[in-house]
Amino acid sequence: MSLVGKKAPIFKAPAVINGEEIVEDFSLEQYIGKKEVIFFFYPKDFTFVCPTEILAFQEKLAEFESKGVAVVGVSTDTEETHLAWLMTAKDKGGIEGVTYPLVADPARTIATNFDVLAGDWSYNDAGALEFDGIPVAYRGTFLIDKEGVVRHETINDLPLGRNIDEMIRLVDALHHVDKYGEVCPANWEEGKDAMQATKEGVSDYLASH
């Protein structure tokens, strides 16, 4: 079930912040009324596509922050594994230099509540509990507004990396809609024309493009 238009699931979990400090009760609630959040899931620490995404978010972090948006990552690894990866140099396969929070979800409850877990538990014919699939998160990305409501979500399969610039475009679109009350047409980017959500608005937009 899509979470778009609904409150993002609430959680408290360990996380590594500032690339070096473990906190035990990290929550997205700290951003309510203050910032939007890009909350993204990735499959696993010490892997291959994941560091490219995590470092790409870091490269764009100043731009997100300038727009009043926090970036938070999460995987099903432990906080100790996050910290070890953050302490590993990039040329050794690490993500040293990442400063935004990385949340630990080893119990898979956050991934389950956001419906991005790449499998599920079930009982076999012998009555034993088994996991069907892969017990990691898909590449889920959620744009959460200042009220804690999910305004956008995408979920990529494990091999498919994200486009970070698209996340920035969506933030810009959300800000435009909230500020001007206009809607953003296909391929809209900041600085381009938007349109009124009326038949006349659509007609005027199409006629001028």
**From 50, 95, 116, 150, active-site residue:** 50
In a domain, 92, yes or no: yes
d(CA 117, CA 13): 17
What's the structural domain count of the chain?
Answer: 2
Residue 187 Rama label (left phi>0; alpha psi -120 to 50; beta): left
- Quick one: 156 and 57 in the same domain? yes
- Quick one: 107 and 179 in the same domain? no
- Quick one: 83 and 157 in the same domain? yes
The pTM for the full model equals: 0.94
In a domain, 90, yes or no: yes
Residue 147's domain comprises: 13-162
In a domain, 1, yes or no: no
| Separation in Å, CA 112 to CA 40, 61, 78, 90 | 14, 27, 16, 30
pLDDT in tens, 176-185: 999 999 898 8
In a domain, 174, yes or no: yes
Assign residue 120 the CATH number of its domain.
3.40.30.10
- Quick one: 157 and 168 in the same domain? no
Residue type, 21: E
- Quick one: 168 and 77 in the same domain? no
Question: How would you write the pLDDT of the chain (209 residues) with one tens digit per residue?
Answer: 899 999 999 999 999 999 999 999 999 999 999 999 999 999 999 999 999 999 999 999 999 999 999 999 999 999 999 999 999 999 999 999 999 999 999 999 999 999 999 999 899 999 999 999 999 999 999 999 999 999 999 999 999 999 999 999 999 999 999 999 989 888 999 888 888 888 676 666 567 77
Give yes or no: 50 in active site. yes
